[in-house]
Amino acid sequence: MSTPAPVVVSFNNPPAFITLQAHMLAEERRYPGTSGHLSWIVSALAIAAKTIAAKLKNAGIEDVLGDFGSQNVQGERQQKLDVIANHLLIQLLGQREGVAVIGSEENDELLMVEAEAGGGQRFAVLFDPLDGSANLDVGGNVGTIFSIFEVPPGGEQLLQPGRRQVAAGYVLYGSSTIFVLTAGHGVHLFVLDTAVGAFIRVQRDLRIPAVGQIYAVNEANLASFPAGYQHYLAQCRETGFTSRYAGAMVADVHRVLLKGGIFLYPPTAKAPTGKLRLMYEANPMAMIIEQAGGLASTGGGSILDVCPEHLHQRVPVALGSPENVTALLAELVRQA
């Protein structure tokens, strides 16, 4: 009987079972002289995601729902799970070699982490620990959003434009737990295999559809949107679009990434510079969308080119399929 030919497996022709960890290690091998710290940071984010997912599955049985009884720096009521998720991420990232700075929606200031003796690359990790947490009590989708920058040796310029992110992504806690990641070479999608306890890559180099028929926006604010947004949304309604809005950026952006269309949080009377935060909501989502072939704009320029002034700065957001965002921007110019 002839001996079967050996199965050759390589990064370009990977086996089906690629974990998030294996993927990140291969990504880091693209950069000569890296320290492996970026992979360790993504590993800490994955552990946090698995822990948060487990708590969410038992929410209600475990006493993790409802108000924590305090407000965050945004003046928003903190949910118990906001605080739990935030503490978990800070603890896990604070123990990871290579984390120099931590920034969270839930913390007023940046947290500086003492340097390890070992040296090597150091990073700033910014996150919204539990995006859309108002959905928790009603069993809605929530997520974690993260943004990672390399901190230059001097460490002086901590808040950098989103174009300088080295990695970004989000975790969607939904019917399954989905980890979406880019490290500058495409967008990749992982699903938590609860039997194994690992995130398994299910989609590589995900591309957003060039155009879509879905818009995601809180239409209760329509009257206070600038005219260009109102005209664009009227055109959408007249041309057969459907509206889908979860009230959680991660869920709404994930749908646009997979199905095409546009996600909008325009300036409103209540939030004249937009509601969403640049550093840990708009920037990471913009990197994901642009890496998938989409566009991400403040309505006046690319989100990734905004020079940040402070950690909790807000910006208007319009992101999604290139044809949809381009049509919106043309309407904004027409109505300016």
* Residues at the site binding ligand P6P, with contacts judged by CB under 6 A: 131-132, 134, 218, 247-249, 252, 275
β-bridge mates for residue 62, sequence order: 59
Nearer to ligand P6P, 248 or 289 (CB): 248
CA distances from 260 to 87, 141, 252, 292, 300 (A): 34, 19, 11, 11, 22
Task: State the nearest-atom distance from the C-beta of 216 to ligand P6P, in Å.
Answer: 8
Q: How far apart are CA 150 and CA 98, in angstroms?
A: 9
Task: State the nearest-atom distance from the C-beta of 227 to ligand P6P, in Å.
Answer: 20
Nearer to ligand P6P, 134 or 202 (CB): 134
Nearer to ligand P6P, 201 or 275 (CB): 275
DSSP state of 277: B
Nearer to ligand P6P, 67 or 205 (CB): 67
Nearer to ligand P6P, 105 or 150 (CB): 105
Q: How far apart are CA 279 and CA 160, in angstroms?
A: 9
Task: State the nearest-atom distance from the C-beta of 27 to ligand P6P, in Å.
Answer: 27
Backbone dihedral region of 315: left (phi > 0), alpha (psi from -120 to 50 degrees) or beta? beta
Nearer to ligand P6P, 18 or 233 (CB): 233
Nearer to ligand P6P, 192 or 216 (CB): 216
Q: How far apart are CA 336 and CA 332, in angstroms?
A: 6
Task: State the nearest-atom distance from the C-beta of 72 to ligand P6P, in Å.
Answer: 11
Task: State the nearest-atom distance from the C-beta of 119 to ligand P6P, in Å.
Answer: 37
Nearest to 201 by CA among 169, 165, 249: 169
**CB–CB of 181/292 below 8 Å?**
no
Task: State the nearest-atom distance from the C-beta of 122 to ligand P6P, in Å.
Answer: 29
Phi, psi (rounded to 5 degrees) for 111: -105, 125
Distance of CA 298 to the CA centre of its chain: 16
Task: State the nearest-atom distance from the C-beta of 281 to ligand P6P, in Å.
Answer: 6
Nearer to ligand P6P, 128 or 150 (CB): 128
Nearest to 294 by CA among 271, 323, 320: 320
Task: State the nearest-atom distance from the C-beta of 312 to ligand P6P, in Å.
Answer: 12
Backbone dihedral region of 310: left (phi > 0), alpha (psi from -120 to 50 degrees) or beta? beta
- Characterize 187-222 residue by residue with b for buried, 16 or more Cβ atoms within 10 angstroms of its Cβ, and e for exposed: bbbbbbeeeeebbbbeeeebebbebbbbbbbeeebe
Q: How far apart are CA 288 and CA 294, in angstroms?
A: 9
